[in-house]
Structure formats: structure tokens, C-alpha cells
Amino acid sequence: MTRVPDLDNASGGIVKRYIKLPIAIIFLSIFACGSSETTSNEIFESSVTLLTHDSFAVSEGLFETFTDETGITVEQLSLGDTGQLISSSILTKENPIGDVVFGVDNTFLSRALDADIFSPYVSSLNSKIIDGLIYEESGHVTPIDYGHVCVNYWKSSFSDSLPPPSSINDLLDPTYASLLVVQNPETSSPGLAFLLASISHFGSNWKNFWKLLTQNGVSVTNDWESSYYGEFVAGGGKKSLVVSYASSPIAELIYSDPPVEVSPTAIIEDSCFEQIEYAGILKNSKKRTQAELLIDFLLSRRFQEDIPLNMFMMPVSAEASLPDQFEDYPMIRNNLNTITPAEIENGRNDWTEIWTETVLR
Amino acid sequence: MDRNGSSLNTFFRMRQWAIGLLPVSFLALLFFLPVFEILKEASSYSLSPVREILSSARFWEITWFTIWQSLVSTFLSITFAFPAIYLFTKYEFKGKKVLRSLITIPFVLPTVVVGSAFTAVFTRFNLDEGSINLRHTVWAILIAHIFFNASIAIRIISTYWDGLNDNPENQSRILGTGKIRTFFRITLPRLNPALFSAATTIFLFCVTSFGIILILGGPKNSTIETEIWRQAIWRGEISTASAFAVIQLTFVILLSWGLIKAEKKSASSEELSRARRKKPLKRTLTFHFTYLFCLFGLPILILLERSLRLDGSGLFAFFTGLTQRTNIIPITPIASLWNSLRFAMLASLIAALIGLAASTVIVHGSKKLSTFLNVSTSIPLGVSAVTIGFGIFLSFTGPLTNLRSSQLMIPALHALLGIPFVIRSVVPTMRRIPTLLYENSQLLGVKPIKSWFNIDLKLSLRSLLVGAGFSFAISLGEFGATSFLPRNPDTLTAPLVIYRLLSTPGQELRGQAMALSVILAFITSLSIFLIEMVRKTD
């Protein structure tokens, strides 16, 4: 019987003391979040929402220059990788989360166009865009940047006696057996791009290429990180060839640690596939004018010149000057026989299934 | 077990709907509504995809693999946790609290970091080629699941065991039964409620395991979870993805319902008391520390090694680099830690509050409401992030539109995943509070609400804190469901920044990603330590 009053006394002090604090924090936190929301409502009138994938990045204060010129604030929302960005935008077509989508690439473009989520806009700055990047004249989407997925190699793994492969064909050479790691085209964007590179390079013979590549000991991971940082030399792995980007050697140089003079990696030029990233105005956006101004801004020299060092892609504007590190970006644009977005959308599920059969089974 | 006579039950039966309203409406908004929209979406494509999928051999292969790897992972996680559970329950030693908080570290480490750490362990010990090849095998998945989930088992089961006295074991030993036999015949059955509790949680976690399957399982191993993602995101086949989602939902509901029934059935009328703890021999302690190191140590050591700059100049350069913004990420990595902490604080408070309300109804409420709440608070753990994420996009329209991209959604979704941990930890404890206590308190004329406060809350405070600590850790490490929410650059969390750092080549970025993971791990164990300091009071 003595236990009950005992509890009574004890809890009065202890429990209350420890419960009050969290409750106070809850209210404070809710209050804090609430107040930040009201400030964003005040500028609601003149804002535009830019939906991007996770790799989107700009220099600090870049969008402020847009706000200074137009009075429009840019709200940035990122939505995962490109696939997720497209699927989410299609799913929310009727009631979009934002006004402008940036980051639809040519491998996903047709899916977005088929779902009819964009409304056309032809910017006056389109004339500045490098030839061959504009997909269709009606202007449902506007190209903003481009880059390449290529086989990279770790320079010091090769020597005079074992020179690095010089072409995609060399990958089948037994000299380079078990040195290459690629990504699964069913789960990774560079993986899909390299499959497309092989299709545009070998035509109908591409299955044979993969069959021979498999016999030559190609290694497959599901994601880029596992390839590059798991199996490639850069992350302590054993493979000296990896599917990555044409800009990866530049990033390796800029973010090298300890600093180095020359990039430790290089690319095999004829293994590349061109990726073009587009922006478009969502059909059900209620901020048409602001959205158009934002597309113009994405094509402006200031934004275009900001792209390389933040997103490791190339600007589409012929006017934009490149930072020093990108001066040597390989001129691979013109000798690629790429596949059109429509062909990609029609073929991809079949191709990846055949690929799975050939390489994994 | 029959506590119908207790005044508290009568009190809560009458008010169960009022108290249950909080958890039910929270679930309705963040879980039922989004899932309902996805089901509607799935049925709008007609049921043919479901039928088509059910007849494909690949589907059954994937489903079978999902079920057995989850079951085996759960069994192994609990089995391998037992020596540690024993250590934390039976022994009192210096640094016990610190060690207890350290074992939560695996729980918050981003899977991409853990995945690459395991790959590195395999490479270093030559386990990725030759006679023992773990690369892209189910073994790699199982090992990583044990690493991630053993801490759930350790914490839930040792907290429960701690409140059991040794009398039955002592009697059994006096009667001449061996140590091992006594453990299997007496102790294990007494631990059943906690075992089922831990098993339910771990099982659901393994069903929705994503990064581990993708990274360590490689391209040949798929589960329902990775398949939903692949179909929805990569192939754009929303109908096939929804069909898989429906199947996942059905079997998660069935299984958690079964496990929770079993848990309830096994709840005994054990007295809540304290077992006697002894000081361990040095030899025992050495054994246990070595064991814990084998269980958790290697990947964490690899991570530590990678976060340091070992070429001689500036060992902590990657850590100091975190205060500066790199081009590729909109905020400094340190700022993302602060975001994560704020979200985690809010999420664990919401989870504790709602979890406590739900636990009270589960223990004292009517059978129907009790089972409903018990099952429905658990299933969000076993439902794909894609389902919840896309469901929110589809359902939050009209007046809810602004909520979709609101900052509050992040801690709210984290809390949704934290609530089952609070419940799994509080309910077993609350259930075995002796009826006598309530009756005495009623005899003394104490108001029911006050006796709930004094008895239920006070005696289960320990478990509540364990649960809150878990939801804190989940929130700090969560990547799945939140990766589907739109986020603005200022609210990036630490796991998201780690992923971004790792998605551009360069040793500096990689070093910083590892350094940020180390800090995340440190902060987690420190917070768990501080949260559990409160336990001193009982």
C-alpha cells in the first residue's frame, strides 16, 4: 500500500519537470515554422517556382540578380533524380507543384512530351543556342545545358606497356579483360546513356557488343556511386575503367585532394553519349509571364556561364564563355550519331530487357 | 491479463475515441489518404496489370525473395543481437550508457555510405572474388541488415528484459536445470512480447530496405520495394508499380496483423520489477566488447578512416571543409546538419506525443480500436517510400496543396516512421503494469487521469524515451520517403547533402561526405545519450 502514494509524490516532481520542456519546444518549433511561412506569403504575388532534379546548383545570389531585374522571386524545389522529377511532374500534371521544370534530359524527354505536361514557349534567346540542340521548333522545351556520358579511365593504371584503350572497340580486347565497371541501365542514368552510346555506335550489332563485353568480364553495379567509389580506382577499388561523365576528369581536378596539376582521369571519346537537359513551362502553371521570364533568364549569359562549375555541364549558349577548367572540354559534339528522344522512349524498355538478358542472366 | 475491472480501462474506454483522434487523424492525413489515392490510381488502370503481374514468374521470384530475405534478416538480426542484449541487461559496468548510445550509430548512417563501407570491407579482406565471394550476393544483404537492425533488437529487448525479475530462472536453476536449458525454456518465453515487438519492426524495415538491396544486392537481386521504384521512376509504368504497391500493402498488413496478434497473445501478467545486475568479470567484458566490435565495428572504422586526410597535412581537413559551401551544393554541409537536427527534434516530439496517445488506447481501449491502431501505425514502416511520396502528391490537392511543399511535411513524415518505434517500445511495458496499482490508486480516490499520469506514464517513461530516441535517429538518417517530397535548397538535410557530395567525382567531396557522416553519427549517439540521461530518474 505504501507504493502508491510514493509514486504519486515522485512523479509530481520528475515527470512534470521533464515533460514541460519538450512541450515548450514543440510550440516554439511550430511557431518558428509558422512565421517563416507568412513571410513567403507576402512575396507570393511575384514569385515563380522552379522544379529541378537534385543535381541542380547555382552560385550564391544568382537568382537575386533575376529578382533585381524583374521583381520576381525564384522559389527552388528539388525533387530527386531526373526520373523522379519527370514522374512527379506527370503525376501532378493537373495541379502542378511548380511553374518551370528544369532537368528533363533527352533520355526522358519523350515521356514528358507524350504526357503533354509542357506548354510551348519560344524564347527570343533561342537564336543564341548552339546548332543542333533545339529538339523541336514548337518549343515545348528549351535546351539549357548539355554534357556527355563516357568511359573514363584512371591514367596511372596504364603505362607504355599497357596503353589505355583508345576506342569503345578496345573494351572487347582481352588485354582489358575485367577492368571495366558499368551501371545497370534499368536503375542508373549514366548506365542507360552508355547503353544508348553502344546502340548508336554499333547499330543492330549492339547485342553482340554486350555479349562480348560480358565475356570480357564487365562488372555491373546498380548506381553510379557504387561504380565510381566502390569498384573504380578513385574509391579504392580495382577497376581502372568506369562509365562516368566527360566532365568527371575536370571535377577530379577541381576537387582533388591533395591538389594535383593534371587530372588523374581521362575519357575515351568515341564511347560518349550526349545528354541534353531541357527546361519547360508546365501547362497548368498560373504564372505564365513569370515563367517565360525565368526561361529567358536560364538562357541568359549570366546563368549560362554559371553552369559549368556548378553542375559540371556545358552551356548551350554560343555566347557564354567557359571557365579555364572547361577550356579543354572535349569537342565531341559533332561526331556522335545520337538517337532521337522519340526513338529512346520507344525502344528503351525493350533494349534494357534485352540488355538484362544478355549481361545479367 | 484480464484487466476489465480496472478503473483506468473504464475511464479510457469511454474516452478512447477522443484520445485516439490524434493518432487516427495524423495517420489519416499522412498515410490512409495518400495510400487510398494510389489504390484509386491503380484501379483506374483496370485490374489487368495486377492479373498480368500475378501470372508472371518473375513476380513470384521477387515476392518470394522479398519475404525470405526479410524473415531471415529478422531472425539473424535478433539472434546476433542476443549476446549484446544479455550484456546490457545483466551487467552493470562503466561506460554502459555511452556504449548503449553508440550502438544506434548504424541506424542513422546513410545506406550509400554503409553500402560503400561494406564493399570496402569485402575488398580489403578479399571477400569479393575467389572462393568466398560476397559481392552482390544475398549474404551481403543479410550482413548489412544485421548491422542496421541488430540495434533495434538490442534496445527493445534489453529494455523489456531489464524489467523482469530473476525469480523463475533462479527456481529453475535450483531445481537443477542447466543454464542453456533455463534460457530456452524459461527466459525466452518470458521475453516473447519484446521479441515479437522487435521482430515486427525489423521485418517491416527489411521489406522496405532499399539502398542496401540496390547497392549490396547488385543488379541480380530485386525486392518488391526496388521493383516499385524501378517501374515507377525508370520505366514510367505507373500501373505496374501500383500493382506491386497493392501487393506489398496487402502482405504487409497481413503479416503485421499476425505478428501483433502473436505479441498480444504472448503478453503475460509479469510483474514489472528490476532484475539484479552484476559486475562483469574482465574476461566477460572483453568477450562482449570484441563481439560488439565484430558486429558493428568494421564498416564504422572504414568510414572513420575515409573521413580523415591521411597524407600528413591536416588530418581533419575534410571536417573543417564542411563549414564552406562547395559549388555543387546550395548550402554549407554544416547548415544541413542543423536542418536535420531541427527536423529530428520536432519529429521525435510528434512521434512521442502521438505514440503515447496511441499506446494508451492500444493498452486500455476496446479490442477493435486497439488492434486497428496497433496494426495501422506499424504498416507505414513496411510501405514503399514511392507509394507514400506519390500518394501525397496525388492526394494533397485543393486546400492541402500548400502543405505538399511545406517544411512541416518533412518532420511529419519522419514522425510517421517514428511512431511505430514508440509504440513497439511502450506497449509491452504498459501492458504488464500490475492491475493492482490501478486498483489501489482507485481505492485511494485518485482521479483516473492522474493515475494514468502517475502509473502508466511514469512506469513507461523509460520505454517512451527509448522510442523517442529511435524516432530521433530515424529522422536524422531518413532518406526514403523524404526524398519524394519537394525540398527547397535551404531545407536540405544532412543525408541528402551526403548523397549530393558523393554524386560528383573528387576526393575532397568524398572526404567531406564521410566527415559529415561521422558527425551525423556522433550527434546521433550524443543525442540518444542525452535523451536517455532522463532515465536516471527512475
B116 contact residues in A (CB cutoff 8 A): 225-226, 229-230, 235
Instruction: With beta carbons less than 8 A apart as the criterion, state whether A53 and A78 touch.
Output: yes
Fold classification of A148-274+338-360 is D-Maltodextrin-Binding Protein; domain 2 (3.40.190)
pLDDT digits (tens, 9 = 90+) for A261-307: 999 999 998 899 999 999 999 999 999 999 999 999 999 999 999 99
Instruction: With beta carbons less than 8 A apart as the criterion, state whether B507 and A257 touch.
Output: yes
* CB < 8 Å from B in window 242-301 of A: 244, 248, 251-252, 254-258, 265
Residue of chain A minimizing CA distance to B437: A4
B407 contact residues in A (CB cutoff 8 A): 33, 36-37
Interface mutation vs chain A, best among B504, B517, B532, most A CBs within 10 Å: B504
Give the domain ranges of chain A: 44-147+275-326, 148-274+338-360
Q: What is the pLDDT of residue B134?
A: 87
Q: What is the pLDDT of residue B59?
A: 86
Q: What is the pLDDT of residue A33?
A: 44
A5 contact residues in B (CB cutoff 8 A): 444
B504 contact residues in A (CB cutoff 8 A): 251, 255, 312
CATH number assigned to the domain covering A44-147+275-326: 3.40.190.10
Does B506 sit within 8 Å of A254, measured CB to CB? Answer: yes
Does B349 sit within 8 Å of A3, measured CB to CB? Answer: no
Give the domain ranges of chain B: 7-537
Does B116 sit within 8 Å of A252, measured CB to CB? Answer: no
Instruction: With beta carbons less than 8 A apart as the criterion, state whether B358 and B20 touch.
Output: yes
Does the ipTM exceed 0.90? no
DSSP conformation letters of B80-115:
HHHHHHHHHHHB--TTHHHHHHHTTHHHHS-HHHHH
What does each of the 538 residues of chain B score in pLDDT, given as a tens digit? 444 446 677 777 777 888 888 999 999 999 999 988 888 877 766 666 677 777 888 888 999 999 999 999 999 999 999 999 999 988 988 888 888 888 888 877 888 888 888 888 888 888 877 778 888 999 999 999 999 999 989 988 988 888 888 888 888 888 888 888 888 888 888 888 889 889 988 999 899 999 899 999 999 999 999 999 998 888 888 878 888 888 889 889 998 888 888 877 776 656 666 667 788 888 889 999 999 998 898 889 988 988 888 776 788 888 888 888 888 888 899 999 999 999 999 999 999 999 999 999 998 888 888 889 999 999 998 898 888 888 888 888 878 888 887 888 899 999 999 999 899 889 888 887 877 788 888 888 888 888 888 888 888 888 898 889 889 988 988 877 778 888 888 888 899 899 889 888 988 898 999 999 999 989 888 888 887 776 554 4
Q: What is the pLDDT of residue A221?
A: 94
User: What gap in Å lies between CA B30 and CA B92, rounded to an integer?
Assistant: 42
Identify the CATH homologous superfamily for domain B7-537. MetI-like (1.10.3720.10)
Q: Take residue A297 and report the three cell numbers written for it.
A: 533568364
Does A11 sit within 8 Å of B454, measured CB to CB? Answer: yes
Does A256 sit within 8 Å of B507, measured CB to CB? Answer: yes
Does A88 sit within 8 Å of B390, measured CB to CB? Answer: yes
Q: What is the pLDDT of residue A10?
A: 38
Does B504 sit within 8 Å of A312, measured CB to CB? Answer: yes
pTM score: 0.87
What does each of the 361 residues of chain A score in pLDDT, given as a tens digit? 333 333 333 333 444 444 445 445 444 444 444 444 434 444 445 899 999 998 899 998 999 999 999 999 999 999 888 999 999 999 889 889 999 999 999 999 999 999 999 999 999 999 999 988 888 778 999 999 999 999 999 999 999 999 999 999 999 999 999 999 999 999 999 999 999 999 999 999 999 999 999 999 999 999 999 999 989 999 888 899 999 999 999 999 999 888 889 999 999 988 999 999 999 999 999 999 999 999 999 999 999 999 999 999 999 999 999 999 998 888 776 556 678 899 999 999 999 999 999 999 8
A62 contact residues in B (CB cutoff 8 A): none
B408 contact residues in A (CB cutoff 8 A): 33
Does B235 sit within 8 Å of A87, measured CB to CB? Answer: no
Cα–Cα separations (whole angstroms), residue A131 to A137, A143, A272, A307, A333: 13, 11, 19, 19, 10
A235–chain B Cβ distance below 8 A for any pair: yes
Residue of chain B minimizing CA distance to A236: B120
Instruction: With beta carbons less than 8 A apart as the criterion, state whether A233 and B486 touch.
Output: no
State how beta strands A47-52 and A142-154 pair: unpaired
Does B461 sit within 8 Å of A15, measured CB to CB? Answer: yes
Does B505 sit within 8 Å of A248, measured CB to CB? Answer: yes
A105–chain B Cβ distance below 8 A for any pair: no
Q: Name which of B346, B500, B506 is nearest A29 (Cβ-Cβ).
A: B346
A309–chain B Cβ distance below 8 A for any pair: yes
Helix, strand, coil shares, percent, chain A, to 5: 50, 20, 30
Distance from the Cα of B409 to chain A's closest Cα (Å) equals 11
User: Which residue carries 524498355 as its cell?
Assistant: A349
Instruction: With beta carbons less than 8 A apart as the criterion, state whether A123 and A300 touch.
Output: no
Q: What is the pLDDT of residue B153?
A: 93
Q: What angle do CA A339, A340, A345 make, to 5 degrees?
A: 100
Which residues does B301 contact at the CB level (< 8 Å), separation at least 6? none
Does A22 sit within 8 Å of B352, measured CB to CB? Answer: yes
Q: Take residue B217 and report the three cell numbers written for it.
A: 544486392
Residue of chain B minimizing CA distance to A27: B346
User: Which residue carries 581502372 as its cell?
Assistant: A240
A102–chain B Cβ distance below 8 A for any pair: no
Does B484 sit within 8 Å of A88, measured CB to CB? Answer: yes
Q: What is the pLDDT of residue B518?
A: 92
**Residue A153 φ/ψ, nearest 5 degrees:** -130, 155
Does A309 sit within 8 Å of B496, measured CB to CB? Answer: no
Amino acid at B68: W
Does A311 sit within 8 Å of B309, measured CB to CB? Answer: no
Amino acid at B282: K
Does A37 sit within 8 Å of B218, measured CB to CB? Answer: no
Does A37 sit within 8 Å of B406, measured CB to CB? Answer: yes
Q: Name which of B232, B394, B437 is nearest A4 (Cβ-Cβ).
A: B437
Residue of chain B minimizing CA distance to A31: B408
Instruction: With beta carbons less than 8 A apart as the criterion, state whether B437 and B455 touch.
Output: yes
Q: What is the pLDDT of residue B347?
A: 95
* CB < 8 Å from B in window 154-193 of A: 184, 186-187
